[in-house]
Amino acid sequence: MSMRLPSDLGFSDEGYCLPPLSIQRTLIDVDYVPPDRLMFAGLKGIQDRHNVRRSTLSARVETAARMVNATNDQWIVWTGLSAESTAMTAAIPGAIEVVGSDSPERKARALEEFQDGRHRVLVTKPRIAGYGLNLQNAANMVFVGLGDSFEEYYQCIRRAWRFGQTQPVTAHIVLTEVEQAIYDNVRKKEVMANEMSRELIAQVRTYEQQELDQQAGPGEQQGHLTASGDGWTAMLGDSCERLSEIPDESIDLSVYSPPFADLYTYSASERDLGNSRGWDEFFQHYAYIIREVLRVTRAGRLTCVHTSDIPAMGVKDGYIGMRDFPGSVIRAYEQEGWVFVGRAFVQKNPQAQAIRVKSKALLFVQLRKDSSDSRPAIVDQVLMFRRSGENAVPVRPVDNGEMDNETWIQWAHGIWLGIQESDVLRYAPARAADDEKHICPLQLGTIERCIKLYSNPGEMVLTPFLGIGSEAYQAIRFGRRVIGIELKRSYYDIAVKNLREAVAKYRVASLFAVIPQMTTVPQGSNPAGFVS
């Protein structure tokens, strides 16, 4: 990420422009002949540069000191050699010198006194005071010689030429003519750095403008699309924003798999929940979704959240083990007002998981080598939460013909058997080049059980993380209506395709023609395509 001014992203620079900066070079003519040559033929390397700098020290010090002593302004004097620093301090009355051998307390005191104006001139080296300090109390500086480091040169200038500076800044560079190559080298690097910055900003600008919705079209924000069909609505955008378009208490059931905290990377977007710096940030952002889903859910109805434990990594977590992600999700939902009512564990094949995630803890070789480093397979967990209040429309799966007593016994067991791990929607076309990790769609059998257990045919199902449309597909398949929200365009496009295929495959007649509608939208408001 690189940004110099608000205008780099299309905003006004008012209030952010710095005073003018003037770079003034002073070249001193000296007769310099290397001790091992008949004449000077250019700088050949580091040792040659060092020899020139030491041999021309007195001429540069005399010229730089004359500049500083000609005014009563505050100055910063940048030196490279200890001898330069000592000579400049002696040549400028009242100058304070900060050197590497000073104690931290002495350095801090001297710098603070210079900031406060108690010393007119600060003499020091870039590696001591050239990074991070606020020295905009001074508007004049002089380099008594120059090294080949552009970064060092740039940072020294930025000590004074920075926000809070109220005067034009002048940076003098005092060199001998034989050091011209050093100056040319630094300026060449400056041109290259500026060009790279411009190129990077040009790349960042388009992406960030899309992220900030700066290119909004008439009536809709950039990247916000809505597609709909027979019984379904798909919305492209950030769930934090687009959930606000759904009316209060209009959802009968929600089923979804949220991005797992710092585990999967689905997109490069800063809006992606999975792109969080840690669990605290993840749950801070996730709380917006949890609250909005609660708002749109009818009283007494449920939300089903797919989770699992997350492996702890030595590099990120400091240990190798497991982290209780479902437990953290439960606490997050309870904090926002949901009532935790139970969970189901979905059996997994340890051998298939070992092949997919390449975990040595699940390998036969580890069992024979040292089984203390083995562990059970990570099983999926479906967490069920209910919104408080009385359910106005009972859910009767037996009466609906979707369940019998024997099926109920199997599903109420708490451990869901018989769900095939490969029973997922086809997702290869949704994968983009910048996906860092694999897509992991939820098994269709898991979704089917949530839908049949906790909703009636014709009711509205929500999935705020639509992905490639697995939950929405099953909702259409089993006669429900559905609304889904997806952030990433490639996933959204596949989800829309899958929903259209579901309608063509499973809808023999329009659902709305045979099933009474149970969702009411406030008069004059229909942003998400709801049918009154």
Q: Is the per-residue pLDDT at 467 higher than 50? A: yes
CATH architecture of 246-347+380-514: 3-Layer(aba) Sandwich (3.40)
Q: What is the pLDDT of residue 427?
A: 54
Say yes or no to pLDDT of 478 above 90: yes
What does pTM read for this prediction? 0.55
Q: What is the pLDDT of residues 389-415, one digit of tens each?
A: 999 999 999 998 999 999 998 888 889
Neighbour-count burial of 413, counting CB atoms closer than 10 A to its CB (0-12 exposed, 13-18 middle, 19+ buried): exposed
Question: What's the average model confidence in pLDDT over 204-219?
Answer: 55
> Looking at 264-278, 280-294, 354-368, 482-496, which range is the least confident one?
264-278
In this prediction, residue 83 carries a pLDDT of 94
User: Is there a contact between 149 and 1 (Cβ–Cβ < 8 Å)?
Assistant: no
Residue type, 483: I
Q: What is 6-208's CATH topology?
A: Rossmann fold (3.40.50)
Shared fold status for 6-208 and 246-347+380-514: yes
Question: For position 480, what pLDDT does the model report?
Answer: 96
In this structure, how many other beta carbons lie within 10 angstroms of the beta carbon of residue 356? 14
**Residue spans per domain, the chain:** 6-208, 246-347+380-514
> Phi/psi of residue 288, each to 5°?
-65, -40
**Is 50 exceeded by the pLDDT of residue 177?**
yes
For 167-203, b/e burial (b = at least 16 CB within 10 A) is eebbbbbbbbebbebbbebbeebeeeeeeeeeeebee
At 176, the pLDDT band (50, 70, 90 cuts) reads confident
In this predicted model, what pLDDT tens digit does every residue of 222-272 receive, in sequence order? 468 999 999 999 999 999 889 999 999 999 999 999 887 654 455 556 667
The residues that bridge with 383 in the sheet, in sequence order, are 305, 343
Summarised one tens digit per residue, pLDDT across range 57-90 is 999 999 999 999 999 999 999 999 999 999 999 9
- Residue 32 CA to residue 55 CA, distance in Å, equals 8
* Residue 250 identity: S
Distances (CA, A) of 38 to 33, 41, 44, 86, 179: 7, 9, 15, 32, 18
The identity of residue 500, as a single letter, is R
Q: What percent of the chain has pLDDT over 90?
A: 50
Rank 6-10, 306-310, 505-509 by mean pLDDT and report only the highest: 306-310
Closest alpha carbon to 79 in 71, 70, 88:
88
Phi, psi of 7, deg, nearest 5: -65, -20
509: confidence class by pLDDT, cuts 50, 70, 90: very low
The candidate with the shortest Cα–Cα distance to 242, out of 441, 432, 465, is 465
The total number of residues shown for the chain amounts to: 532
Residue 450 has pLDDT above 90, yes or no: yes
Is 223 strand, coil or helix?
Answer: coil
CA-only gyration radius of the chain, Å: 34
Distance CA 140, CA 21 (A): 10
